[in-house]
């Protein structure tokens, strides 16, 4: 069924990851710019290019937007972006021309995830731990970290009422083990990958890497695995799968805390990405918060920093919609 297209829906939005491509429409002059009933999702593997996927969406909706804001899971370098975990190479100019847009802006997906924080309401986030989030006015510094196909990292500054997203590739910083078990895991992953980034542990494939490393430490070979195999086994009570998720949550917490320290994001860190809603009950009762706060002399400060799990259904598209709005 085609989405209804209001006459004022003048912006095409996209949130492009390594697995899925999400599209929607927005009204730049609306208080809630993202039109939720226009959201559609497709597998990136089903299309040879982003332009083909976007045109498929436009054909299905009958929309004729004038401009576009596309958030992509990769580094944006001028007119071009490369998807980190997929083969697409995207040119803003060529894609915009193919779609008949007057202009097309490419942004890093976690810059969009960061901008989404400017539009979140209380029902869009769930706190992990007891620190309360305040949306009071004034200057703010937020961190954003999200586990999905990869590990995305960004930031958001509010200065004099204006928001400025920070585009980073912080998911690729080096993993720093904090326990003897994590040191052994690092040894296993180093033998396989050489350099080991946080993304090698805190992502969908990170679950697989962790499970395989724990199996190797035990002298076993688990054979081929997918992330969903591990979460399914955990639900059935499998001890190694449960331990894998425990380590995942602990490392996620440590990385989120490191990001707060790096950016000085004392106002909150937002936990985004497709794995977060799926693991939300586990995160709340795991070692995430303990490792988040476990920062030596800064532990008392970290205890006051809110960690907010994002449960909004389309944070990337929401952030792209925010980026399409004119700055005040």
Binding residues for ATP are 14-19
CA nearest 34: which of 11, 57, 15, 68? 11
CA nearest 57: which of 116, 10, 102, 99? 99
What is the CB-side half-sphere exposure of residue 245 using CA atoms within 13 A? 25
3-state secondary structure of 56: helix
Q: How far is CA 105 from CA 12, 93, 320, in A?
A: 10, 9, 10
Pairing of strands 268-272, 307-310: parallel
Chain centroid offset of residue 136 CA: 25
Tokens 């944070």 sit at which residue?
315
Annotated binding site: 14-19
Q: How far apart (Å, rounded) are the C-alpha atoms in residues 308 and 56?
A: 35
**Which helix (H) or strand (E) segment is 41 a member of?**
strand 34-43
Lookup: tokens for 13: 């939005």
CB 42 within 8 A of CB 61: no
What angle, 0 to 180 degrees and rounded to 10, lies between the N-to-C axes of helices 227-235 and 204-217? Answer: 70
CB 101 within 8 A of CB 65: yes
């Amino acid at each position: 069924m085609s989405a209804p297209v209001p006459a004022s829906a003048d912006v095409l939005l996209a949130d492009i990851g390594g697995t899925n491509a999400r599209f929607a429409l927005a009204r730049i002059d609306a208080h809630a710019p993202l039109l939720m009933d226009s959201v559609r999702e497709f597998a990136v593997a089903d299309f040879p290019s982003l332009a083909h996927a976007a045109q498929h969406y436009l054909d299905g909706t009958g929309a004729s937007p004038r401009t576009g804001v596309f958030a992509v899971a990769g580094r944006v370098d001028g007119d071009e972006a490369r998807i980190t975990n997929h083969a697409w190479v995207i040119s803003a100019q060529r894609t915009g021309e193919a779609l008949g847009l007057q202009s097309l802006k490419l942004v890093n997906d976690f810059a969009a995830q960061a901008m989404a924080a400017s539009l979140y309401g209380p029902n869009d986030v769930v706190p992990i731990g007891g620190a309360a989030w305040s949306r009071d006015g004034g200057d703010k510094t937020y961190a954003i970290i999200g586990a999905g196909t990869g590990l995305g990292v960004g930031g958001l500054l509010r200065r004099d009422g204006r928001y400025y997203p920070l585009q980073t590739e912080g998911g690729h910083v080096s993993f720093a083990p904090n326990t003897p078990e994590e040191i052994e895991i690092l040894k296993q992953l180093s033998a396989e990958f050489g350099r080991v980034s946080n993304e090698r542990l805190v992502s969908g494939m990170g679950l697989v890497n962790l499970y395989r490393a724990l199996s190797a430490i035990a002298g076993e070979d688990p054979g081929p695995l997918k992330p969903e195999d591990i979460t399914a086994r955990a639900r059935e009570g499998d001890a190694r799968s449960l331990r894998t998720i425990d380590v995942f949550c602990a490392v996620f917490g440590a990385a989120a805390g490191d990001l707060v320290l790096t950016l000085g994001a004392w106002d909150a860190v937002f936990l985004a990405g497709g794995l977060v809603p799926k693991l939300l009950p586990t995160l709340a009762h795991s070692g995430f918060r303990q490792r988040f706060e476990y920062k030596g002399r800064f532990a008392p400060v970290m205890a006051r920093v809110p960690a907010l799990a994002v449960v909004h259904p389309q944070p990337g598209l929401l952030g792209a919609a925010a980026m399409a709005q004119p700055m005040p």
